[in-house]
């Protein structure tokens, strides 16, 4: 690594760290002001509130790091241009590609680290964060557990297992209910294809009821509709969909395989799975887009312009990506296309800016 590479790398990392820390603090302050009123209704311990926001930091970092990369790129190159350092480098015969290479390499490393974080760190911190919010702060029952392949809920002498929850249609699918005696001996098993919420209770469809004797099934019957009263609300099940957003790529892939083998629709989760790989590369795309944008502005680049441009470009990317991914989740676009489309659009924009740049 020569002197020029070290100089640009040090300047970029210094500004990137400042931008990332600023975005994280702003996000935390806004999120704290939004949630603290609801949290205080349950009179929680302040230690639990602090722990909640500490566990939320990895999720915040993964969300704001592309913006930090873009802003650091614009500010770093903007300051080098204002100080005529870009002109001096060009005068020494150093090309724009050579000047930009340290930023591209750092952005690529950040994208790879984001993938690792999404796979290893984020699922664990998210589970801890949800437990603190639902059980320690909101004082909800800990009898409902959400895993990548099953949903378990215990309600007194009843245990429910469901293979999947469809948040779009608010349906539980692949339901099995076990009823136990006071000695925790199973006395009845109920199987149902799906259950829907009518506002007060769950309505099971295509139900098979098996009464269990001491050694075998005593009786078996079927019914097309059966109401069941459980202490399980829709708000509790919405956690399942959020958990899929924070599930690692390989766990989500296994979850999709199990749902597909069970005959369930997996398009929504397939789009989320492909986005696990595409979205971390937003940092690389932002750097690739920000370099020609900053160099095009030349010596007119300033802090205000860099901040404004980074926020505008960043929000345009995330809005575009959210809209296109939603098309993939609903089946309008193939999941893999919807996950990578925004990256392709903004990468092509960066190529166009680079090709039209005055060299």
State yes or no: pLDDT of 143 exceeds 60. no
Highest mean pLDDT range out of 75-84, 215-224, 239-248, 280-289?
Answer: 280-289
CATH topology of domain 144-230: lipopolysaccharide transport protein A fold (2.60.450)
Using a pLDDT cut of 70, give the percent of the chain over it.
87
Instruction: Tell me the per-residue pLDDT of 153-205, one tens digit each, with 9 for 90 and over.
Output: 777 788 888 887 776 677 888 889 888 887 778 888 999 988 888 878 888 99
What would the mean pLDDT of 144-149 be, rounded to a whole number?
A: 50
* Least-confidence region, from 75-79, 82-86, 220-224, 260-264: 260-264
Domains of the chain, by residue range, sit at 3-139+259-355, 144-230
State yes or no: pLDDT of 43 exceeds 60. yes
* Residue in this structure with the two tokens 């750092």, named with its chain if needed: 106
Say if residues 255 and 148 touch (Cβ distance below 8 Å): yes
Q: According to the model, what pLDDT value does residue 148 have?
A: 45
Beta-carbon count within 10 A of 318 CB: 16
Instruction: Tell me the per-residue pLDDT of 107-127, one tens digit each, with 9 for 90 and over.
Output: 999 999 999 998 889 888 988
* Nearest of 235, 227, 274, 63 to residue 146 by alpha carbon: 235
Sheet holding 151-155, edge to edge: 144-146, 151-155, 158-166, 171-180, 186-197, 202-212, 217-228
Token pair of 312 as six digits: 């505008």
Separation in Å, CA 7 to CA 10, 13, 18: 5, 10, 17
State the pLDDT confidence band at 150, using cuts at 50, 70 and 90: low
Q: According to the model, what pLDDT value does residue 2 have?
A: 82
CA distance 96 to 295: 9
Q: Rounded to the nearest 5 degrees, what angle is found at the Cα of 282, between the Cα atoms of 280 and 286?
A: 145
Say if residues 290 and 312 touch (Cβ distance below 8 Å): no
CA distance 60 to 65: 8
CA distance 190 to 229: 13
CA distance 134 to 75: 41
Q: According to the model, what pLDDT value does residue 298 have?
A: 55
State yes or no: pLDDT of 249 exceeds 70. yes
Where are any strands of DSSP class E within the chain? Answer: 144-146, 151-155, 158-166, 171-180, 186-197, 202-212, 217-228
Separation in Å, CA 290 to CA 72, 76, 100, 347: 9, 10, 10, 11
Q: According to the model, what pLDDT value does residue 336 have?
A: 92
Residues in the chain: 359
pTM of the model: 0.75
* Residue in this structure with the two tokens 């002109």, named with its chain if needed: 87
Instruction: Tell me the per-residue pLDDT of 310-343, one tens digit each, with 9 for 90 and over.
Output: 788 888 998 999 999 989 988 889 999 999 999 9
Q: At what angle do helices 234-245 and 267-278 cross, to 10 degrees?
A: 40
Say if residues 7 and 14 touch (Cβ distance below 8 Å): no
Q: What value does the mean pLDDT of the chain take?
A: 83
């Amino acid at each position: 690594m020569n002197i020029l590479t070290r100089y640009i790398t040090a300047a970029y990392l210094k500004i990137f760290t400042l931008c990332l820390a600023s975005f994280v603090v702003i996000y935390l302050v806004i999120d704290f002001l939004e949630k603290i009123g609801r949290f205080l209704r349950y009179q929680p311990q302040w230690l639990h509130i602090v722990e909640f926001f500490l566990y939320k930091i990895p999720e915040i970092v993964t969300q704001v790091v592309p913006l930090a990369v873009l802003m650091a790129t614009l500010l770093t190159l903007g300051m080098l241009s204002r100080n005529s350092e870009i002109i001096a480098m060009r005068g020494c015969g150093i090309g724009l590609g050579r000047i930009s290479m340290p930023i591209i390499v750092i952005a690529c490393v950040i994208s790879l680290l984001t993938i690792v974080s999404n796979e290893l760190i984020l699922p664990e911190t998210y589970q801890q964060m949800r437990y603190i919010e639902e059980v320690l702060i909101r004082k909800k029952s800990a009898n409902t557990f959400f895993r990548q392949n099953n949903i378990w809920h215990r309600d007194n002498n009843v245990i429910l297992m469901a293979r999947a929850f469809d948040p779009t249609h608010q349906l539980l699918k692949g339901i099995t209910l076990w009823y136990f005696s006071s000695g925790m001996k199973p006395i009845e098993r109920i199987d149902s294809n799906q259950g829907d919420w009518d506002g007060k209770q769950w309505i099971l469809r295509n139900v098979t009821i098996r009464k269990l004797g001491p050694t075998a099934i005593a009786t078996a019957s079927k019914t097309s509709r059966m109401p069941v009263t459980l202490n399980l609300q829709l708000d509790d099940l919405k956690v399942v969909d959020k958990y899929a957003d924070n599930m690692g790529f390989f766990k989500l892939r296994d979850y999709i395989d199990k749902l597909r083998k069970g005959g369930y629709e997996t398009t929504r989760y397939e789009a989320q799975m492909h986005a696990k790989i595409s979205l971390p590369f937003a940092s690389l795309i932002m750097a690739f887009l920000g370099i020609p944008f900053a160099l095009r502005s030349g010596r007119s680049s300033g802090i205000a312009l860099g901040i404004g441009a980074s926020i505008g470009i960043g929000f345009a990317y995330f809005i575009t990506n959210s809209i296109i991914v939603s098309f993939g989740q609903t089946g309008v676009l193939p999941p893999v296309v919807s996950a990578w489309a925004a990256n392709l659009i903004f990468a092509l924009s960066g190529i166009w800016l680079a090709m039209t740049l005055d060299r």
